[in-house]
Structure 1
Amino acid sequence: MSTATATATTARDVFLVSNTTDELGGVTAWMHQMARLFKRHGHRVHAIGVHRADLKLSLPDDLGYPVTSLYAEHPPTVRPMTGLRRLHPVARRRESARLAAKRRAVDQLSEIFRTARPGGVIVVTQVWPMEWLRAADTAGLTVIGMSHESYAYTKACHRYRWVRHNYPHVDRWLTLTQEDADQWIADGMHNVGFMPNALAHLPTVPSPRSEKVVASIGRLHDQKGIDMLLDTWAQVAPHRPDWTLRVYGAGVEEDERKRQCTLLGLNRSVRWMGRTDDVPGALAGASVFVQSSRGEGFPLALMEAMASAVPCAAFDCAPGVREIVQHGEDGLLAPPGDTGALADRLLRLTGNPRMRDAMGERARQNVQRFSEEEILRRWEDLFALLER
């Protein structure tokens, strides 16, 4: 579909609301990708975060659309005022200050929303900001809630309660796959749809797959399973002494994972590359991509690797992963958490150049079904449907 076909027929005000607007991570990257896409196609965009982040995503100084953070830092966590705590003067002052700051944040949010023209849309990209959104004035606006996690991952943590409490009140709430949507519908939610993430970039020149390098790209966080990746690589490295694992990313687990790497005797074959602002460059220097996450939504890094014609081995930890990777066709999947199986997939890809090349080329072709033009068309259809 051409860009002209995808151009918005109705120019709208689109407010994208997330935990932060500047945190290093896939959801923030997605939010700014969509902000650029909506703006390019005629919408007026405003990106809003609850607070500013500590570990920041690299962003241009001038994004071309307004960006607002409601708090300078993470707001205090709610602590129930029960028992003796309710009578303690320090606790009461802190709670009073928290509530006053929240009222200011909600008022600021309401003022932003009041600038909207008819047909305005709020897209809440994560569950937590709904605490402020539900208290704000959203009159006349369509509210779309999203989850960037699989049903199973959300069900296993506290966000499940937040979804059940907040998302029945929105006009539509979106998962990332039909499978996730079906699971929420079976769980009693009735305003559910789905919307895949968009492929941000198709490199003009794919990876030559000439380097004996396996790449991992993601935050060094428990969710991303870098501990399991190292356990996996410990099973691969003895059989592939001329291959290197490059780990791109930063995060709270960095020191712990480096210690694990040393204990496993992997320092000679693992390279800690730090965070990168050049993902295409990192992928151009790799022949295989690996993803070892415990939970995912619709992982952008996986799509970017495939767009670079780099075949992927990944844990089948979410519907979004198996929606992107077609096992045996354009990549290889392993049962979640099974490091032996993931090691087997890596051994197959690193040991068979013909398989690597065939899967890499098919991956580059197949992932283009998630092009920005196609995903934008789906968003425009949804906006028009909810406006009726």
Structure 2
Amino acid sequence: MKIRYLLLHAYGMGGTIRTVITQANAMAAAGHDVELVSVVRRREEPQFAIDPRVRLSALADQRAGVREPSLAARLARRLRGGAVPRGEFAAHYFTPAVERAVASYIARLTDGVLVTTRPALNLLSARHAGPGVVQVAQEHMNLSTHRPAVRDAVLRNYAKFDAVVVLTEGDRREYQEAIPGARVERIPNSVHSLDQPFSDQTGKIVLAAGRLYPQKGFDLLLPAWAEVVRDHPDWQLRIFGTGPRKDRLRGQIEQLRLYNHAFLMGRSEHFHDELTKASVFVLSSRFEGLPMVMIEAMSHALPIVSFDCPTGPADVITHGREGLLVPPKDVPGLAAALKTVIGDRELRERMGARAAKTVAAYAPASVMPRWEALFSELSAARSGS
């Protein structure tokens, strides 16, 4: 079976990138003809390991820098519109030249399965894919988190796909109800591996990770941590990730006098080692799809403290079993939950052991056959066999 994955930036970091590469690697290992197509390329090498059987290519090589479109080009695009709504979180990547390159690539395809992995790419596929191509749209976000222009475009176009695949059962119901006639399937993302060392619960470290964007809520986590260290001054908060909010978060750390208690760690080449050193993982997101970094933390037998944000955490953990769920944006509640698990090592060990068992449902061996079965069914239906 010929399978093509279209990613915005296969050379970058991020949960979606990692899970799509994991899926591509698994399909190649199963004997399929797999291609990973990156819309842009801004680094020399991918950040995640790609199976040598997976062909990797890029549509727009931007390693020498990104040339901004002229004012006239920007105005013309605004007047005529495009397949990518301006409210899409990655819309700034889709200059007229980039959008043309993606549209041209999709239009040239005549067979196989095309898997698109974010709204911008899904909408371009809906507009340009030919009748011989099996179209599968991946959605990594809850419908309600999309901005209005994106949501409207999704509702108009997603019924054109052979299948729309979402991460949680709540998402499946919401998309199915909103898009009558669409085939909506739930297949969760898979962790890279379950063969990870467990935390021994000796490190006085709470770990958080994600892009330094408003979505991840680190600006809510820091005041909660300021409450925690009043009772537990010997514990550290380590936040891994990069992004445009770094300076603002650093200023917040200074303002809250957390310079000896909270640290922005940047990117780590040995993130799984860092998870093993920690004793708690905290998720402070305002919204999520299916938070893979949380699931990876669970594979290290870490208990979870998380906001019960729209979709994601509650689909994986049960309050009081694998961790503690706190009402969204409830900073005092987050602080109290962290104090509870920090102050009780037996509770952490018990929750961590349950987390490690729960995460088995997200192992590649559990998830990948579902993708393979879906692709086979859709391909057979398209060919009429």
User: Shorter-chain TM-score: which interval?
Assistant: 0.7 to 0.9
Alignment match of 1:71 (pick from 60, 69, 77): 60
Q: Please identify, of 216-225 and 64-73, the stretch whose mean Cα deviation from structure 2 is larger.
A: 64-73
* Alpha-carbon distance, 1:374 to partner: 1.2
- Report if the CA contact (8 A) 1:231-1:339 is conserved: yes
Corresponding residue SS for 1:255 = helix
Letter of the 2:77 counterpart: R
SS at match of 2:118: coil
How far 1:164 sits from its partner (Å)? 1.5
Match of 2:78 in 1: 80
- Report what 1:42 is aligned to: 31
Deviation at 1:231, TM superposition (A): 1.6
User: Deviations along 1:330-379, whole A, 9 cap, x unmatched?
Assistant: 11111111111111111111000110000001100111012111111211
Aligned to 2:88: none
Cα 1:317–1:189 change in 2 (3 A) is farther
Distance 1:110 1:46 in 2: 16
2:312 to 310, 313, 320: 320
Q: Which residue of 2 aligns with 1:349?
A: 341
Shift of 1:277: 2.4
Amino acid at match of 2:221: L
Q: Which residue of 1 aligns with 2:137?
A: 145
Residues in 2 aligned to 1:57 and 1:243: alpha-carbon distance in whole angstroms? 34
Describe the shift of the 1:55–1:169 C-alpha distance in structure 2 as closer, same or farther (beyond 3 A): farther
Structure 2 unmatched ranges of 5 or more: 81-94
Unaligned runs of 5+ in 1: 1-11, 83-97
Q: Distance in 1 between matches of 2:228 and 2:173?
A: 37
Instruction: Give the conservation status (yes or no) of the 8 Å contact 2:126–2:161.
Output: no
Q: What SS does the corresponding residue of 2:272 show, helix, strand or coil?
A: helix
CA pair 260-63 structure 1, distance change in 2 beyond 3 A = farther
How far off its partner does 1:146 sit?
1.4
In the aligned structure 1, how far is the partner of 2:281 from the partner of 2:97? 48
Give the counterpart letter for 1:230 in structure 2: L
Equivalence map 1:32-181=2 (5 Å): 32-53=21-42, 58-60=47-49, 63-73=52-62, 79-81=77-79, 102-111=99-108, 113-114=109-110, 116=111, 120-154=112-146, 156=147, 158-181=149-172
Q: Does the 8 A contact of 1:207 with 1:310 survive in 2?
A: yes
**Contact residue 127 and residue 163 of structure 1 kept, 8 A:** yes
Residues 68 and 135 of structure 1, relative CA distance in 2, 3 Å threshold: farther
User: How far is the alpha carbon of 1:271 from its aligned partner?
Assistant: 2.0
- In 2, Cα distance between the equivalents of 1:343 and 1:137? 49
Contact 2:218 2:284 survives alignment (8 Å) = yes
Q: Which amino acid aligns with 1:80?
A: R
Q: Alpha-carbon deviations, 1:228-267, whole Å to 9, x = none?
A: 1112111111111110001111111111100111001111
Contact 2:116 2:122 in 1 (8 A): yes
Q: Deviations over 1:298-347 (max 9, x none)?
A: 11111111110010101111322111111111111111111111111111
Alignment: residue pair count: 356
Q: Is the CA contact (8 Å cut-off) linking 2:10 and 2:37 kept in structure 1?
A: yes
- Could you tell me how far 1:122 is from its partner in structure 2? 1.1
Code of the residue aligned with 1:182 in structure 2: it is R
Alpha carbons of structure 1 residues 157 and 216: separation in structure 2 relative to 1, 3 Å: farther
Distance 1:231 1:373 in 2: 40
Distance 1:56 1:265 in 2: 39
Q: 1:61 to 1:42 in 2, by over 3 A?
A: closer
1:242-281 alignment, distance < 5 Å:
242-281=234-273
**Equivalent AA in structure 2 for residue 311 of structure 1:** P
Q: Return the offset for 1:63.
A: 4.5
Cα separation, 1, equivalents of 2:98 and 2:253: 44
Task: Find the residue that maps to 1:313 and give its secondary structure.
Answer: strand
- 1:185 to 2:183 alignment: no
Contact between 2:299 and 2:355, CA under 8 Å: does it hold in 1? yes
Q: Contact 1:198/1:372 (CA < 8 Å) preserved in 2? A: yes
Q: Counterparts of 2:14 and 2:285 in 1: how far apart (Å)? A: 14
Taking the aligned partners of 1:201 and 1:141, their CA distance within structure 2 comes to 31
User: In structure 2, what is the equivalent of residue 95 of structure 1?
Assistant: none
Measured on the aligned residues, the alpha-carbon RMSD in Å equals 2.3
Identity value in percent = 29
Secondary structure, aligned partner of 1:80: helix
Secondary structure at 1:79's aligned position in 2? helix
Q: Is the 8 A contact 1:121 1:142 kept in 2?
A: yes
Amino acid at match of 1:69: A
**Cα deviations by residue, 1:22-55 (Å, 9 ceiling, x for unpaired):** 2221111111111111111111111122223579
| DSSP 3-state at the match of 1:129 | helix
Q: Does 1:17 pair with 2:9?
A: no
Deviation at 1:125, TM superposition (A): 1.1
Q: 1:36 to 1:319 in 2, by over 3 A?
A: same
Question: Aligned equivalents of 1:328 and 1:61: distance in 2?
Answer: 37
Q: CA 1:101/1:364 → structure 2, altered by over 3 Å: closer, same or farther?
A: closer
> Within 1, Cα distance between the matches of 2:158 and 2:324?
35
Q: Could you tell me whether the CA contact under 8 Å between 2:158 and 2:179 is conserved in 1?
A: no
CA distances 1:100-158 after superposition (whole Å, capped 9, x unpaired): 764454333444x34x5xxx21111111013432443433221011110123322x554
Q: CA deviation at 1:217?
A: 1.3
Q: Hey, what does 1:5 align to over in structure 2?
A: none
Counterpart of 1:337 in structure 2 is: 329
The one-letter amino acid of 1:45's match is V
Matched letter for residue 375 of structure 1? V
